[in-house]
Every structure is written in C-alpha cells, then in structure tokens.
Amino acid sequence: MSTHSLHTPRDTDIGTPGSAHGHDSRRSYRIGVALSILLTVVPFWLVMSKALPNPTATAAIIFVLAMIQIVVHVVSFLHLDTRSEGGWTLLAFLFTAVIVVLTIAGSVWVMYHLNANMMPMPDAAMGPMH
C-alpha cells in the first residue's frame, strides 16, 4: 500500500493527458467548424460569381478545396487519428480511400478512353439491327 502512495503523482500525471485530450478535441472541433464553413463558401462563391474566367482553373481549385474539406471533416468531426482504436480506424480509412480513388478515377479514365476510341456509328447503320 505504501508503494501505491509513491505512484500517486504518476497517476495524476496520467490523468492530465485525458483532460487535455478533451480540450484538444474541442479545439480541433472549433477549427474544423471555421475551416469547413470557409471551404464550403469559397467553391460556391467561385462558381456563382464566375470569379475566374478559366473554367478549368475553377474546377482545379474546387477539386483541391473539396479534398482538403474531406480531410478536415474526417480529422475534426470524425476524430480520426493514429491512436484511436489502436490505429485500426486509420488503417481502415486509408484502405477505403485507396479503393475509392481506384474505383472513381479508374472508371472515369477507362470509360473516357473507351468513348473516345469508339467508332462513330451513324443512325443508318443501326437500322438493320432493329
């Protein structure tokens, strides 16, 4: 029992990160709120006010802002970090992100080239098939 009293300061030491974590998560939430509002308003403003004459540049900026906003939401609102659930949530998220990118980018890429390489088919050619 006497050894327990020796460890008491250590116990309080360990207690502090817990409360600091709560404080950190509130702070991360508030930063997330501010950033998410900004990252929502800017793309709408860019498109609705036609601020940039070049649509490709507008699309590129919107794409980058959307990616940033997804990361902000995942970190501040879903509290994804390297520690939660022993790192398994992060691993599952990264795996999902790889599959999502492969599915979307792969489909769009392949089907675009498929369309571009298709022989143009006049309506007359389709006649006998019906």
Partner 1 sequence: MTDRMGDIRETDIRWHPTEMEEHDHGGGATVLGFWIYLMSDALIFASLFAMFGVVSSSYAGGPGPRQLFDLPLVALNTALLLASSITFGQAIPHMEAGRVGPTRTWLAVTGLLGAAFVGIEFYEFAHLVQEGAGPQRSAFLSAFFTLVGTHGAHVTVGLIWIATMLVQLGQHGLTGEMKRRIICLSMFWHFLDIIWIGVFNFVYLFGVIR
Binding site for partner 1 (CB under 8 A): 3, 7, 10-11, 14-15, 18, 22, 26, 29, 33, 36-37, 40, 43-44, 47-48, 55, 58-59, 62-63, 65-66, 69-70, 73-74, 77-78, 85, 88-89, 92-93, 95-96, 99-100, 103-104, 106-108, 111-112
DSSP the chain: -HHHHHHHHHHHHHHHHHHHHHHHHHHHHHHHHHHHHHHHHHHHHHHHTT-SS-HHHHHHHHHHHHHHHHHHHHHHTS---SSGGGGHHHHHHHHHHHHHHHHHHHHHHHHHHHHHHSPP--HHHHGGG-
Taking the complex as a whole, the smallest distance from the CB of residue 54 to partner 1 amounts, in Å, to: 10
Q: Which is nearer to partner 1, 14 or 125 (CB)?
A: 14
Q: Which is nearer to partner 1, 108 or 125 (CB)?
A: 108
Q: Which is nearer to partner 1, 104 or 125 (CB)?
A: 104
Q: Which is nearer to partner 1, 44 or 125 (CB)?
A: 44
Counting Cβ atoms within 10 Å, is residue 80 exposed (0-12), middle (13-18) or buried (19+)? middle
Taking the complex as a whole, the smallest distance from the CB of residue 16 to partner 1 amounts, in Å, to: 10
